Structure 1
Amino acid sequence: MSDTFRAALPGALRTHLSEPSSPALPDAPGAADLRARAAELDAADELAAFRERFTLPEGVVYLDGNSLGALSVGVRDRLAHVASHEWGELLIRSWDESGWWTAPERIGDKIAPLIGAAAGQVVVGDSTSVNLFKALVAAARLAAPGRTRLLVDAATFPTDGYIAQSAARMTGLTVTPVDPAQAAQAMDEDTAVVLLNHVDYRTGRLHDLAGLTAAARAAGAITVWDLCHSAGALPVGVDAHAVDFAVGCTYKYLNGGPGSPAYLYIAERHQAGFDSPLPGWTGHADPFGMTPAYEAAPGATRGRVGTPDILSMLALESALDVWDGVSIEAVRDKSLALTDFFLECVAAYVPQGKVESVTPAEHELRGSQITLRTENAREIMRELISRGVIGDFRPPDVLRFGFTPLYVGFADAERAARTLGHIFG
C-alpha cells in the first residue's frame, strides 16, 4: 500500500490499513448469508456458463467492462490465423478470398441484433468520435431548413461535446446543452438535431431513448444516440423506437478489444439522403473506379471512409461470437439482479456514510454500472485493485463498477462489496 494512500485517509482508517492482515478481517454480520445467497444465485444463473467463453485472470473480480471488456477465448486463435495465413500467405488476395473487404458490413450485421436493428443498417469502422461527426453533420444536412439548434446532453462524455461543437460550426447550428431529463421540453420548431447518451458514463443513469426519440420526432428534429454504455448490456431497440442515427464503441460490453473499431447505425429511411462530411473512397459506389467525382455507395456502406483496420476488425468479429445463443433480455435481467445485489452488499459491508450511490435505484433509470461517491476515491480504487477487485475512478470522487453479465457473477459482486468494506474498516 502506498504512503500516499495512507496519508490521504483519516487516522483510524490509516492505522487499520497498515496491518497486513486487513483483507482477512472478521466478516460483518450477515456476511455468511450474503455469500450463501450469492452461491445460490450463481447456481441458478442461466448465463453462468458463458463465463467460460472469456479469458479472465484467476482470483480477479473484473468490474471494469464498461471501460474495456474481457478477452474472449477465440480471439487469440483468430488473430493468429489472420496474421499467419490471411496476411502471411494469401497477402493481398485476402481482401477477396478472406472477406476483408466486406468485413465492415458483415460485422455490422452481427452487431445489429444487439441494438435492435435489422440487417443492412450498421457499418463498422473508424472511432466513435469519427462516426459521431459523420452522424451529426449528416443529420444537420437532413434537418428541415431554417432550424438552428443542436441540443446536446449537458453531461455527455467530453469528446461528444467537442465533436458537436465542431459539427455545429460546419453546419451553422448553435449548440444548446440540455439535461436529458428536460430534453423533451427543450425540443421545439427551432431544434434541428438532438444528441443524447443512452447511459450516462459517470453515473450509470439510463435515459429514456423511446420517449426522447418520440419527442424529437414530434418536434421534427433528428436524433443521434450514443450507445457506448448500453449496447451489449441492455436492449436498445433502435428500429422499434425509430431512432435516426446511433453510434457506439465495441470495446466495452461488446468485448472487441482495446481500440476496436466503432459502429454507425443509419436508419434505412435515411440512407439515401445520408451526406457524409467524410466521403472516403471505400464509401464510394465504385471504389476501384478511382473517379475524381464522389458518388456515395448505396445503403449503410456510404458511412465508410478509409481502408478498414483489418486486424482489430477481425478480432472484433471473433469476439462477437460469444453472443451466439445469448438473449439480450436475459443479459438485462441479470444486470439488474447483479447491481441490486451489489448495492445490498455495499449497504451491509460498508460503514454508513462512507459511500453514496449516485446511480438511480429504479430499474428503469439504471444502466449496467454502479457509481459510488466517496472521499479519496482515487486511492480507494487503487487499494481495491491491489486486492484483486478492478473497477475504475473518475475525478473528483467517483468509483465506477461495471457489471458485464456474461462473465460477472453474484459471488464477484459480494466479494467486491466485502473488499470495499474491509478497506473502510
Structure 2
Amino acid sequence: MYNEDIRLAIDVGSSKVCSVVIRRDNFNEPEMLAIDVLPSESIHDGDVMNTSEATAAVRASVSEVSKQCSLNFTKGYVGFGGKHVNSYTGWGRVSGFDFASGVIEEDIVQAVRLAASERVEATDHLLYATPTAYRVDDGTEFRKPPIGMHPESLEVQALLVVSDMQHYRTVFDAVSNAGITPIHGGSTLVAEAEHLLSSYERDAGVVLIDIGGSDTEIAIYNHGRAMVFNSLPIGGFHFTNDIAYAYELPFENAEAVKISAGTLVGDTVGFDDEIDPTALTGSERVIDVERSLTRVSVSNLLRDRASETMDLYKSRIAQVSGLPDTDFLTVVFTGGGSKLTGIETYAKLNMGLRGRVEVRKPTGIKSLPDDVSDPSMSGAICMALRALDRIERDNHVERKPITVVHTNSDGAESPQHTNGSENEGVGAKIRSLLGR
C-alpha cells in the first residue's frame, strides 16, 4: 500500500473538521480508505476562534483516519468554504500571437494569470481561476476559446474564486501545527460543483446550493461556464436555533427534533402527536417543554425559516446576468442542511421552479456504500476526489506503519504494529458519526 497514490483531504468546515483518505484502486476507480468527522467548538460560524484548539481537532481527526487505515500521514489537501470564500470576475489581455499557430492554450492561461494579478486584492488569496468569456479585436465575444484564430489581441474574462487571506493563513496554521504539511488549499464548493454536477447540467444551467451549518454556499453554471461562487449568512443551524429558542430546548435536542420530526411538506398524519425531544437523542436528561411540541408546530417553524431562505436564494440567482429562464434551471442541494424532509418539493413550489430539483451526495466511490453516504459529507469527499483528478500523482503516507499502544491487564503498556484488523469498518464509523 505504501507505493500507491494515497491522498489525505481535510475539510475545515463551519463547525467541524472532516478527514478523508482516498486512493485509486488497480482499476483506476476511487476507493475510500478512511473517514472521520469531528465537531469542534473552536470553529464557529466558519471562523477559527482558537487556533490551538482547531489544531487539536485536526490532529485528532487525522489520528482517527490513520488508525482506520493503519497509515501515518505527513501532508494533505485542505478544503474550506463559507463566508470567507467569494468570487469576482476580471479581464486579462494578451497579444503578439505566433503567425503559424495563432491563439494557443498557453495564451489563454497567460490572460487568466494577468486577470488574477490585476484583480485579486492583497487581502485575498486566489483559490481557483477559470476562463468564462473571450473577446477579440472588434469586441466580438466567444463562449469557447478561439484556438487557432489570428487576432491582434485577445481578452479573456476569468472567474476568480478567492479566500480572505487571514482566514486562509489561520486554517493553514492550524493544519501545519497538527503535523500535516498543507500542500494545496481549495474551495470545497468548487470541488462539489465538479463532482456532483454533470457536464450537461453545467451547459444547460444549474445552481448548486450547499447548506452548511452557519451559511449557505451557491455556485451557478451556464453554457459550461462558472458564473459565480459565493455565500449567504444563513444555514442549517438557524433552523435548529428557531426550534431551540421557541421551545427552550438544548441545541442537540432541537437538532434531533428538526431532522426526525420536522418536514417542509408532506402527509399530515400524526402531525398533532406530541414529540418527546429527550427520546430522540437518547439523553437521560428530562426536558420540560412548556409549549406543546408537535410535528405540525415544528414544521410551521421550519417553513417560516425556509420561506425566508428560499427568497434569499431567488434574489441571489436573479443578480446573475446572462442566465436563461431561471424557472427552468436545475437546482441541486447538498450539505447537512439539505437533509430537511421535503426540501426539494418546497423549493420547487416556493421558488417557482419547473426544472429538476434534488438533493445529492457523493456516489460512485468504492467502500462508501450508499446507505452511509451523506450530503453533509459532500465537501470533504469531493475535495478528496478533486485531489485525485486534478493534482499530479502524490502520496501523503509516511512509509511506516502506525504503532498502537495496548495496556495489559497488569497495567503494562505493549506497543504493537497494527494492520487495521482491530478497527471498525469505514461503513460502521460513518454510520456512528452520522447518527445512523
Question: So what's the TM-score if we normalise by structure 2?
Answer: 0.23
Which structure has the highest helix share of the two? Answer: 1
Determine which structure has the larger strand proportion and give its number: 2
